[in-house]
């Protein structure tokens, strides 16, 4: 069975973009692959979070993933900092990662621009830590978005470099991976192309959001003055609403409003009301499950313990061989 590794940011709550863009993929993968999903709390140190906040958000994120259906018996769900093996591999790989190639990374350049007062070495070597997360389980596949392609390329570079120096074929070459057909890009409600937690306040619908708040956001979604002639092409903001409708409503409902758009009789207020209703129907069971799961801290901590045990078994095997290949005591 092929091995998949994916990191999860320990910040924010899951929104519909995360659900349809990533979670659905994870739910399928856990059925067919040997999956390691980890909460990337080492990575988050580059922004110096408050320790209490970090601990709480790790639990929060984990409870949302469990509530969505990730099953700790089917996959390995762990906290990155529970695996000292990752930190050790990171140290070793750093000796073969060159400053020049790290400085050329586009995300590093972006970070320099975004946080000029905190350009720490962790930011520079971020791709090495990411490579360690992947190589520590000798992963074959990594579900990544376009923005992470360059990091994955660097992971292959570091893995291959190690192989050439110490043992050919030791680390597999991990490739980018999405399950089945192309994943949807979920649009935001404020007319911006993408739903995201760092966009404006009304842009994202969170899975833990209550009914009234979902309704308020959807009713405020950006629209235009309406179609002027039959069958005209939809402008982006309207297309976005239809994309959302397709995710949570029945085909019949979508067709109903599509027909109304095409014969120019559409009333956006009606469409948004329907969208809000269907979104609430979709989200409510998830938000209830999130609430229940988050309340059971003992269960979450048991999941974390189980994850650590499984992840360390896999990582321990890799590190034993790596240490011996490098000439250290196993």
Site of interaction with ligand AMP (CB under 6 A): 9, 17-18, 21-22, 145, 185-186, 194-197
Active-site annotation holder among 24, 197, 234, 260: 197
Q: Which stretch of DSSP H or E encloses residue 37?
A: strand 34-39
CB 110 within 8 A of CB 148: no
Residue nearest to ligand AMP (CB): 21
Q: 109 vs 185, which CB is nearer to ligand AMP?
A: 185
Beta bridge partners of 39: 8, 79
Verify whether residue 194 is a known catalytic residue: yes
CB of 322 to ligand AMP, least distance (A): 28
Q: How many residues does the chain have?
A: 330
Q: Give residues with Cβ within 8 angstroms of 151, minimum separation 6.
A: 105, 107, 126, 127, 130, 131, 144
Q: 21 vs 227, which CB is nearer to ligand AMP?
A: 21
Q: 194 vs 246, which CB is nearer to ligand AMP?
A: 194
Verify whether residue 141 is a known catalytic residue: no
Helix ranges (DSSP H) in the chain: 16-18, 24-32, 41-44, 51-68, 84-94, 99-103, 106-114, 121-124, 126-135, 149-165, 211-219, 236-248, 251-262, 268-295, 297-326
Active-site annotation holder among 111, 141, 217, 272: 111
Q: 114 vs 185, which CB is nearer to ligand AMP?
A: 185
Q: How many CA atoms lie within 13 A of 327 on its CB side?
A: 2
Distance, in Å, from the CA atom of 318 to the CA atom of 164, rounded to the nearest integer, reads 17
Verify whether residue 217 is a known catalytic residue: no
Q: 203 vs 318, which CB is nearer to ligand AMP?
A: 203
Active-site annotation holder among 60, 74, 185, 194: 194
Distance, in Å, from the CA atom of 273 to the CA atom of 269, rounded to the nearest integer, reads 6
CB of 303 to ligand AMP, least distance (A): 20
CB of 68 to ligand AMP, least distance (A): 12
CB of 13 to ligand AMP, least distance (A): 10
CB of 202 to ligand AMP, least distance (A): 14
Q: 75 vs 186, which CB is nearer to ligand AMP?
A: 186
Q: What is the DSSP letter of 82?
A: G
CB 61 within 8 A of CB 8: yes
CB of 122 to ligand AMP, least distance (A): 18
The C-alpha angle 93, 99, 100, rounded to 5 degrees, equals: 125
- Catalytic residue set: 111, 194, 197
């Amino acid at each position: 069975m092929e091995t998949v590794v994916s990191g999860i940011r320990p910040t924010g709550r899951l929104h519909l973009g995360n659900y349809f863009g990533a979670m659905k993929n994870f739910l399928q993968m856990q059925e067919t692959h040997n999956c390691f999903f980890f909460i990337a709390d080492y990575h988050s140190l580059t922004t110096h979070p408050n320790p209490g906040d970090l601990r709480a958000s790790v639990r929060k994120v984990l409870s949302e993933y469990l509530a969505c259906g990730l099953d700790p018996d089917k996959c390995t769900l762990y906290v990155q900092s529970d695996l000292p093996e990752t930190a050790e591999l990171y140290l070793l790989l750093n000796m073969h990662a060159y400053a020049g190639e790290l400085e050329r990374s586009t995300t590093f350049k972006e970070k320099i621009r975004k946080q000029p007062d905190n350009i720490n070495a962790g930011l520079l070597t971020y791709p090495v830590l990411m490579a360690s997360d992947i190589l520590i389980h000798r992963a074959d596949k990594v579900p990544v978005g376009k923005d992470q392609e360059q990091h994955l390329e660097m992971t292959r570079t570091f893995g291959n470099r190690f192989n050439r120096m110490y043992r050919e074929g030791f680390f597999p070459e991990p490739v980018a991976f999405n399950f089945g057909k192309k994943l949807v890009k979920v649009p935001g409600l404020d007319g911006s192309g993408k739903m995201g937690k760092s966009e404006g306040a009304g842009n994202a619908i969170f899975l833990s959001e209550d009914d009234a708040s979902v309704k308020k956001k959807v009713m405020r979604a950006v629209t235009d003055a309406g179609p002027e002639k039959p069958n005209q092409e939809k402008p982006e903001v309207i297309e976005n609403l239809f994309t959302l409708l397709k995710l949570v409503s029945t085909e019949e409902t979508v067709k109903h409003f599509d027909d109304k758009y095409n014969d120019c009789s559409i009333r956006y207020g009606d469409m948004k009301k329907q969208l809000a209703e269907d979104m609430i129907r979709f989200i409510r069971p998830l938000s209830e499950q999130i609430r229940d799961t988050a309340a059971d801290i003992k269960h979450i901590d048991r999941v974390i313990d189980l994850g650590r045990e499984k992840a360390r078994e896999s990582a321990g095997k890799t590190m034993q061989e790596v240490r011996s290949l490098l000439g250290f005591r196993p």
